[in-house]
Amino acid sequence: MPTVSVKRDLLFQALGRTYTDEEFDELCFEFGLELDEITSEKEIISKEQGNVKAAGASDVVLYKIDVPANRYDLLCLEGLVRGLQVFKERIKAPVYKRVMPDGKIQKLIITEETAKIRPFAVAAVLRNIKFTKDRYDSFIELQEKLHQNICRKRALVAIGTHDLDTLSGPFTYTAKRPSDIKFKPLNKTKEYTACELMNIYKTDNHLKHYLHIIENKPLYPVIYDSNGVVLSMPPIINGDHSRITVNTRNIFIECTGTDFTKAKIVLDIIVTMFSEYCENQFTVEAAEVVFPNGKSSTFPELAYRKEMVRADLINKKVGIRETPENLAKLLTRMYLKSEVIGDGNQIEIEIPPTRADIIHACDIVEDAAIAYGYNNIQMTLPKTYTIANQFPLNKLTELLRYDMAAAGFTEVLTFALCSQEDIADKLGLDISATKAVHISNPKTAEFQVARTTLLPGLLKTIAANRKMPLPLKLFEISDIVIKDSNTDVGAKNYRHLCAVYYNKNPGFEIIHGLLDRIMQLLDVPPGEDKGGYVIKASEGPAFFPGRCAEIFARGQSVGKLGVLHPDVITKFELTMPCSSLEINIGPFL
Amino acid sequence: MEQGWRWELSPVHLLRLRHHTQDDDTLSPALRLDTFKMAMHTPDSAMADGPVAELLLRRLEASDGGLDSAELAAELGMEHQAVVGAVKSLQALGEIIEAELRSTKRWELTAEGEEIAREGSHEARVFRSIPPEGLAQSELMRLPSGKVGFSKAMSNKWIRVDKSAADGPRVFRVVDSMEDEVQRRLQLVQGGQAEKLGEKERSELRKRKLLAEVTLKTYWVSKGSAFSTSISKQETELSPEMISSGSWRDRPFKPYNFLAHGVLPDSGHLHPLLKVRSQFRQIFLEMGFTEMPTYNFIESSFWNFDALFQPQQHPARDQHDTFFLRDPAEALQLPMDYVQRVKRTHSQGGYGSQGYKYTWKLDEARKNLLRTHTTSASARALYRLAQKKPFTPVKYFSIDRVFRNETLDATHLAEFHQIEGVVADHGLTLGHLMGVLREFFTKLGITQLRFKPAYNPYTEPSMEVFSYHQGLKKWVEVGNSGVFRPEMLLPMGLPENVSVIAWGLSLERPTMIKYGINNIRDLVGHKVNLQMVYDSPLCRLDAEPRPPPTQEAA
């Protein structure tokens, strides 16, 4: 969930009133936001770097507000204020207009070389904008927030904003060999080739995260003006030449990316948020984008879409009984201008370009419910009549757990993920023999594989509890995972029961007695006859030679029991003899 | 079954086994021995009918009014503690004696003080060791009292050092004789005449650690209302013989010490987190919810994300958040006609939706992973439900493990348990969802709820559930909920007027609150302390004021 940090006093000034922290928290809650933290720059720095560093920092109060991940229109102060003011019916939602320039339209020409690396681009112009320091900071911060969220860390979309007065169109969006791109990037004093830049930015804490997006591509995307000035090398860095400042009056905005829909949304959000500060408020100057196939379109789209939803549908989905007029009023408060039309039950809703999150009637229903107030909705119980059933395997597990504890064994809960070493090397097995599923992106060795046996978890539990009085009698009933090409995903869970006895003597007879007890509980008689169980001498690398038996029940092998091999005991950092039992309980359903 | 098959265990071997087991009982760590001792309900040292008690009673009978325990010990020539034991055991018998605790302060010599009282102070010993012709200082320093005695004797001006002597500094007597005042004073104290010393003199000796003030607790013992010199021998425990002979009727029994602890029974124990799991299962079953199979940790991206209308570029599908599989890397089978409907809904929309308008890739959907939520299992269950015609309403639940490749801290592990409830029926409303949640949380003992609008990719409307935490004095999130999106349900084939409401929470968080555990590693995994498992109480969720999670659900 993105967090937006705004200056409290600036926010209250824009809202036209002040709130106590509690009042504002309440307002946020109602609107679906969360006032996460009340802090200041000074407090943040002192928390992260100590009081000394924080000495000179500002102590202006900051509100950190959590915004739902799909509400890109609330990612800056301007949007938050507009949303809340409309919600509180203090202003009407502004109408955003795309206008054609008096002179020539700015053109962005896309060449076909971009196709393989970053094929889409859109653009727009904000004319006669008036920044202040706070507005400028908010403009930069919004781009950063969009980059981190909808732009997926610039992989899907990257934004470049430029001082149009320093450039001369038409602009060309192309892709070139890195060695052929040379320009002075933002915050540098001289020119570098793209190759050099990629090297320099490897140590840049901010930019190094974006390098991978183009790093190994033969061609890098780049935007030039008609004089060959580099505007930007998306998605990495803008040129220094066209950098914007607090004094910039005319801004050229380009968004390049791999997802056309999202590029258009991002452009719409930036221009709707900041056209507020243009001489002609909420108007945006169109720019023309020429595609490699020669066709062209003008942007931003700023599309308003009409949706029709029946009032009784909203009432039925939410569980309220409001008149269509009231529902239209509620929706209008959510920035969705609505009116009742037709037979008096139809509501026509206008979806503005800021609300890309509205993609279905259910999104409209939710907004009506939010405006109504979730906590004002009457709670009722559904009349759904059902008979409950347990999942048979879980039912058996629950029953067995209680009787295992009654037999004097203590239940443990160990991780389903572990290292290859745990299930293979330490048990004297080769990893290929385990048929384990392997994780491709583990951050540490603890998450290399899903366990194929419960035994390592139990032995690790004993190792962590060597100070406890002996004997230790532990068990676990849980799932293990084995590769299996007969299932849709190629792997299958098995419900295992594992028990260990750890003492100065191996206690095989105790583990064997436990098996007898389990079979008694499962109503499986001793003997090899149909339906019975028997154990037969066997061997396994985890067991001491001659002290291992395989368990057969209901005509199939269900597991093994025995005295653990001293090597296994040592590898799990244990010192005493230990016997164990592990069976698959699936066959006993 | 064949008997005697275990050839390797001879009778001798078995005997040894037994022996070992006994060892375990007697040699087990101190804890158990302590428990054992504490568990002795009868006084185990002072025998009320012992010889000391008898002597005490006789002396008391002869005494005029009473006697002092310390004086008696001195007279009898035994440890004071033994007399105190006798007093206590007689007291326990009722009104035989009365004992009043008195504490007196007394000066006593320390071990060093006693040595000095006996052999003289260090300085005197130094003085005496110096012959008229003097002694080399180095030699003097080697004497046992050398160092301390030298400086004291110097400051008393009993001796002097001649540094000009040929073979190093030499020490000579200055005076012919001296009074060993320290020894005299200590002997006074030893003779019980400490009061003859001034306060200043005593404190000086105390500073030199030769004297110490001790508090002596003694009893002033006098005859009780039921005084008698003849007390009968008390029985410790009832025996079968006493029962059969009836002798118990005439015998007095030693009183029990009910302040002692009992001996805990040998038993197995259930894990606290799984005890809570059992309670949650019970609650769902009481509410008529059927358990869904969640019997597959490995899931395809399709069921984990795509089927839930979670777009392929969603951050949750990032390598940083999800464990993907190297082997088996891809799902082998997907229900292809359903997959086509899901693909169309994502990339173009449909079922009243605009869709996400991006290029949906089958390869991405095939990628195997460790399920990040049990909602994947709910999706499978709902898909199966959709294939059954006609539609029948259902209530489903599940509690099982899920996996996240996220940064680990005190409250986050790579795996945890998710609790999920789902109701599918015609015409369910947000009010119904809130009603079911109210019932569910009431069963957990949580009654004060409020709901906050939220965003989940696969539910709309979505609401976070908050409960007021009395301890923290604030609203804390206890769960997440919503109505599944039509873009998820309709491609499955569920009828259009069927709504599905759902909610989820983690199992660990309420358990940590309930058992007062701050670090999740103390609750889950192999590093937990088994003592915590042994000691954990029953899980009765509604028996407590409130056990809500303190932070947002994982």
In chain B, where the domains are located:
68-109+193-224, 111-192, 273-535
Q: Which of residues 255-274 of B touch A (CB under 8 A)?
A: 266-271, 273-274
Look up residue A324 and give its two tokens.
């269509």
Name the minimum distance, in Å, from the CA of A370 to any CA of chain B.
Answer: 7
- Looking at the fold, whether A426 and A564 belong to one and the same domain comes out as yes
Look up residue A95 and give its two tokens.
């109408």
What's the rounded Cα separation, in Å, for the pair A326 and A323? 5
CB < 8 Å to A417, chain B:
323, 370, 403, 414-415
Residue A563, SS3 per DSSP: strand
Say if the Cβ atoms of A359 and B349 lie within 8 Å: yes
pLDDT tens for B252-277 read: 888 888 888 888 898 999 999 999 99
Q: Is B187 on the interface with A (CB under 8 A)?
A: no
Name the minimum distance, in Å, from the CA of A405 to any CA of chain B.
Answer: 4
pLDDT tens for B150-165 read: 888 888 888 888 887 7
CATH number where A397 lies? 3.30.930.10
Phi and psi torsions of A516, nearest 5°? -60, -40
Report which of residues B69 and A347 the model is more confident about. A347
Nearest CA to B360 out of B385, B386, B340, B387 is that of: B340
- Based on its alpha-carbon atoms, the radius of gyration of chain B, rounded to whole angstroms, reads 42
Q: Is B287 on the interface with A (CB under 8 A)?
A: yes
Report which of residues A412 and B23 the model is more confident about. A412
- Looking at the fold, whether A235 and A341 belong to one and the same domain comes out as no
Q: How many CB atoms lie within 10 A of CB A408?
A: 17
Name the minimum distance, in Å, from the CA of A58 to any CA of chain B.
Answer: 29
- The chain A residue lying nearest B268, using CA atoms, is A408
Q: Is B297 on the interface with A (CB under 8 A)?
A: yes
| Token pair 């500060």 in the structure block, residue | A277
CA angle B399, B402, B403 (to 5 degrees): 165
CB < 8 Å to B287, chain A:
388
Q: Name the percent of chain B lying above pLDDT 90.
A: 40
Task: Provide the strand spans (E) within A53-156.
Answer: 61-66, 97-99, 106-110, 120-126
Task: Look at the pTM and tell me if it is higher than 0.95.
Answer: no
Closest Cβ opposite residue B461 in set A365, A485, A493: A365
What mean pLDDT is predicted for residues B50-66? Answer: 82
pLDDT tens for B483-525 read: 999 999 999 999 999 999 999 999 998 888 777 788 888 999 9
Report the pLDDT value the prediction gives residue B232, as an integer from 0 to 100: 64
Say if the Cβ atoms of A388 and B285 lie within 8 Å: yes
- Cβ within 8 Å of residue A371, ≥6 positions away: A87, A330, A331, A333, A334
- pLDDT confidence bin for B45, thresholds 50/70/90: very low
pLDDT tops 90 at residue B91? no
Test mutation, B517, B526, B531, B532, chain A, max A CBs within 10 A: B526
Name the minimum distance, in Å, from the CA of B492 to any CA of chain A.
Answer: 17
CB < 8 Å to B32, chain A:
469
- Looking at the fold, whether A277 and A344 belong to one and the same domain comes out as no
What's the rounded Cα separation, in Å, for the pair B289 and A385? 10
Q: How many CB atoms lie within 10 A of CB A187?
A: 10
The DSSP symbol for B235 reads B
How many residue pairs bridge chain A and chain B with CB atoms within 8 Å of each other? Answer: 320
Of the residues A57, A73, A89, the one at which a domain ends: A73
Beta bridge partners of A99: A285
- Looking at the fold, whether A291 and A311 belong to one and the same domain comes out as no
pLDDT tops 70 at residue B88? yes
DSSP A132-197: -HHHHHHHHHHHHHHHHTTTTTTTSEEEEEEEGGG--S-EEEEEE-GGG-EE-BTT-SS-EEHHHH
User: For B341-407, what is the HEC assignment?
Assistant: HHHHHHHCCECCECCCCCCCCHHHHHEEEECCCCHHHHHHHHHHHHHCCCCCCEEEEEEEEEECCCC
Closest Cβ opposite residue A391 in set B291, B330, B524: B291
CATH number where A224 lies? 3.50.40.10
Report the pLDDT value the prediction gives residue B40, as an integer from 0 to 100: 43
Say if the Cβ atoms of B278 and A398 lie within 8 Å: yes
What mean pLDDT is predicted for residues B183-194? Answer: 82
Residues in chain B: 554
Nearest CA to A217 out of A205, A234, A192 is that of: A234
CATH number where A8 lies? 3.30.56.10
Say if the Cβ atoms of B432 and A369 lie within 8 Å: no
Task: Say if residues A256 and A158 touch (Cβ distance below 8 Å).
Answer: yes
Range in A334-348, B68-82, B425-439, B524-538 the model is least confident about: B68-82
Q: Is B533 on the interface with A (CB under 8 A)?
A: yes
- Looking at the fold, whether A443 and A552 belong to one and the same domain comes out as yes
Say if the Cβ atoms of A481 and B453 lie within 8 Å: no
Closest Cβ opposite residue A382 in set B292, B423, B453: B423
Report which of residues B119 and B369 the model is more confident about. B369
Say if the Cβ atoms of A261 and B333 lie within 8 Å: no
Task: Say if residues B397 and B420 touch (Cβ distance below 8 Å).
Answer: yes
- Looking at the fold, whether A147 and A203 belong to one and the same domain comes out as yes
Report the pLDDT value the prediction gives residue B233, as an integer from 0 to 100: 67
Residue A507, SS3 per DSSP: coil
> Quick one: A111 exposed, middle or buried, by C-beta within 10 A (0-12, 13-18, 19+)?
middle
pLDDT tops 90 at residue B420? yes
What mean pLDDT is predicted for residues B381-393? Answer: 96
- Looking at the fold, whether A141 and A178 belong to one and the same domain comes out as yes
Say if the Cβ atoms of A393 and B24 lie within 8 Å: no
Beta bridge partners of A367: none
Closest Cβ opposite residue B324 in set A385, A387, A441: A441
Nearest CA to B535 out of B272, B198, B303, B316 is that of: B272
The CATH number of B111-192 is 1.10.10.2330
Name the minimum distance, in Å, from the CA of A168 to any CA of chain B.
Answer: 33
What's the rounded Cα separation, in Å, for the pair B196 and B500? 96
Looking at CATH, the fold of the domain delimited by B273-535 is given as BirA Bifunctional Protein; domain 2 (3.30.930)
Report the pLDDT value the prediction gives residue B37, as an integer from 0 to 100: 36
- Looking at the fold, whether A104 and A253 belong to one and the same domain comes out as yes
Name the minimum distance, in Å, from the CA of A198 to any CA of chain B.
Answer: 23
Domain extent, residue A43, equals 3-73
Identify the H or E element spanning A34. Answer: strand A34-40
Phi and psi torsions of A164, nearest 5°? -60, -30
Name the minimum distance, in Å, from the CA of A365 to any CA of chain B.
Answer: 7
Q: Is B510 on the interface with A (CB under 8 A)?
A: no
Q: Which residues of chain A have pLDDT under 70?
A: none
Say if the Cβ atoms of A509 and B9 lie within 8 Å: yes
Report the pLDDT value the prediction gives residue B212, as an integer from 0 to 100: 85
Q: Is A178 contained in some domain?
A: yes
Report the pLDDT value the prediction gives residue B544, as an integer from 0 to 100: 59
Nearest CA to B524 out of B417, B403, B393 is that of: B417
- Looking at the fold, whether A347 and A293 belong to one and the same domain comes out as no
CA angle B373, B376, B379 (to 5 degrees): 140
Nearest CA to B460 out of B427, B490, B482, B430 is that of: B482
Report which of residues A510 and B58 the model is more confident about. A510
pLDDT tops 80 at residue B81? yes
Q: Is A379 contained in some domain?
A: no
Say if the Cβ atoms of B429 and A34 lie within 8 Å: no
CB < 8 Å to B290, chain A:
386-390
Report the pLDDT value the prediction gives residue B6, as an integer from 0 to 100: 33
Give how many domains chain A has, as a whole number: 4
CB < 8 Å to A379, chain B:
431, 434-435, 438
What mean pLDDT is predicted for residues B275-288? Answer: 95
Of the residues A73, A88, A118, the one at which a domain ends: A73
Q: Is B282 on the interface with A (CB under 8 A)?
A: no
Of the residues A263, A280, A299, the one at which a domain ends: A299
- Looking at the fold, whether A167 and A281 belong to one and the same domain comes out as yes
- Among 3.40.1800.10, 3.40.605.10, 3.40.50.300, 3.30.1370.240, what is the CATH number of B68-109+193-224? 3.30.1370.240
pLDDT tens for A102-151 read: 889 999 999 999 998 999 999 999 999 999 999 999 999 999 999 999 99
Test mutation, B320, B430, B447, chain A, max A CBs within 10 A: B430
pLDDT tops 50 at residue B239? yes
Name the minimum distance, in Å, from the CA of A457 to any CA of chain B.
Answer: 6
Report the pLDDT value the prediction gives residue B35, as an integer from 0 to 100: 35
Nearest CA to A579 out of A571, A588, A568 is that of: A568
Say if the Cβ atoms of A318 and B430 lie within 8 Å: yes
Name the minimum distance, in Å, from the CA of B534 to any CA of chain A.
Answer: 8
Say if the Cβ atoms of B325 and A380 lie within 8 Å: no
What's the rounded Cα separation, in Å, for the pair B517 and B511? 8
- Chain-centre distance of CA A152, in angstroms? 10
Q: Is A260 contained in some domain?
A: yes
- Say what the ipTM of the complex is: 0.91
- Looking at the fold, whether A292 and A309 belong to one and the same domain comes out as no
Q: Is B19 on the interface with A (CB under 8 A)?
A: no
What's the rounded Cα separation, in Å, for the pair B220 and B100? 5
CB < 8 Å to A398, chain B:
278, 281
Say if the Cβ atoms of B328 and A413 lie within 8 Å: no
